Structure 1
Amino acid sequence: MSTSPGAGRTDGSPVRVGALAPLTRPGWDEAGRHLLAGLELAAGEVNDAGGIGGRPLELLVRDTAADPLRAAAAVDELARLGVAALAGEYHSVVARSAAARADALGLPFLCSSAVLDTLTEQPTEWVARLSPPQSRGWRVYADFLIGAGHSRIAVAAQPSVYWASGARILRDHLAPRGGAVVELDMGALAPEAVCDALGAHRATALLLLVGAPEPAVSIVRAVRRDQRLAGLMIGAPAGQPEFTEWATLLGDDGTAIPFLRYLPERLTPLGARVAVALRERLAGAPSFVAFEGYDTIAVLADMLRAHGVDRASIAASWPGVAVEGTRGPIRFSRVPGIGVWQWARPPVQVVDRDPKEPDRFRVLHTGTEI
């Protein structure tokens, strides 16, 4: 799929950017649609403003469907098609595969929304990221748990490098503060058995480290209907309740489930304007993922205007980026323990859906540490 919004206002050969997003199952396709909406909105605005030196910016969109092998093949294809850079992706394990291929091919990749710390095995000059690393966001979430009085935490976890990393971050951050994490293997337990295990472990909070909609939705339903667990808090640090599908499937059961969201207390003036355009494009409230998509193209367009389409020149310019994004000023630096160029201070919030008004989000905690 190829898109070139607003290209009628420019001329000359297009400047191509590859865009990766999960647009079909088993990928989180609603997140993919939000990501793509942000990417395409920004690309259209770039072209309406004259493109890249008078040349239209063209997005070559590829559906990764949450498949790391499919993503790697898409990177190979896009490199052959002559894209100047790559943008996007939501799923961490998929972004990791795309980043490895981009690094091997010498293709600049600005990752929009994947948080896994080890996005690449080794430090690389070719990859940068807008979303916060998992170690930062999930530490903020652990601080929220402690502040809310939860020290005995159960995690319902599926096998995955992403979920395993999240559980380790929580355990390491909670242990010195008197917290304990008990893991429940969702490869072996049905949702009803999770309820039995929660009672046995006397946990006060259950975190969903599982895919959505399933098994997350079934676990929430089972816990909400178990009278033994009436006082248990359910949490979803990976952000499952952000999207409308969650609210549609769970209704009131999907409220009061805290999750991580990467938005500031107030959007920038640019962000406020973009929010209106995204709402119209999506026919609903934009998620933080849509803003990440917009900011990705805003950054890449600025780099392309300044440095042209030479891939090596683009990759060498990450440390010089200074772009006003929808959620704050964006600059990249080297963060200890992170092998890619990183926006060091993206905003981090813990929010939930208000039980009294499920379409409204309540900010419960704001991250300040880095």
Structure 2
Amino acid sequence: MMKKRGGTGSLLVGDIGGTRTRLSLYDALGKRLLLEAVLPSREHGSFEEIARSFLGSADHPPPSVAVLGVAGPIRDGVATVTNLSWKLDEGKLARSLSLDCVVLANDLAVAARGCLHLPADVVVPLGEGRPKAKGNHMAVIAAGTGLGEALLVWDGSKHLVLPTEGGHTDFAAQGAIEAELCAFLSKRFPEHVSYERVLSGNGLGALYDFFVARGARETKANERRLEEGDRNATIAELGLSGASRPAAKAVDLFASIYGAEAGNLALKLLGLGGVFVAGNIARHIVLARREQFLAGFRKKGRFSGLMAQIPVVVVTDPLVGVRGALAIAKDLVADGEAPPARPKRASPRKRSSR
């Protein structure tokens, strides 16, 4: 069992992604924010490096517990970040950072836990209604550097958070255009075309390339813009503004396929309580193309009527994963159940992620 430090230890919580790492430090009870930062993941060689930089930036009580959402597979307390070269080990992190306990958790499972603690002003309904949590299953999906999916399963008294690797399931083309897209992507990724190959930052870039290959013309000015800075972000900007024909087509198809996969997730879970759509892409493309998203979500043949009754909302809070990690950390401390970290430890919270 974890030894309680009489309120002297703090709680380190975070959300580790392929592009950004969001870290927050709270007091021992998890009630007062002491420090927070959003740091570029790829500019650091390891999580230990980024954590030391963060913790050394101000005076504060040293953390005793860390709960970290990780965008990558986790097995026996060891995680690799799918779109990053980092490897994290609970036991090694605890020793390196002098912590009593480290918990590595699926990033979307952590975000899903955070969705249970969201204020109303960071939830934007795409259609009618808001999630109906009590008594219902719900789902969480988030496209970003990768595609993450998680489940909130109602057990009769509370929600159990279940991580998945749904983003790596086979891409299922609907209609002639998507069949062409699948063939196009099969040449680029001959080993496997997953939903993440479409529904991610790089996936948006691939959709743009597909429409250019089909003959959608681009202006010289836009071509120059695409050579500068973040190409995928520029495609989103050009597509949403209508300044680029292939980018606009890419954004529209992206929203439709995103909605279809969110609907697949809801159907498999029978998530009648609702679907939370999180991540930076949701805050931009999904809100701007809600009609295409909802059309894809609801287009399920004989079950289209049922799908129209499921609430779908966009989470605009970029710190939803940090909220979930904090909730887990507070539970560990309140229950006194956080054991000293060991090199290998299995946990129902820790499976795989994107």
TM-score range, shorter chain: 0.3 to 0.5
Bigger relative contact order (CA 8 A; separation at least 6) = 2
TM-score (norm 2): 0.42
TM-score (norm 1): 0.40
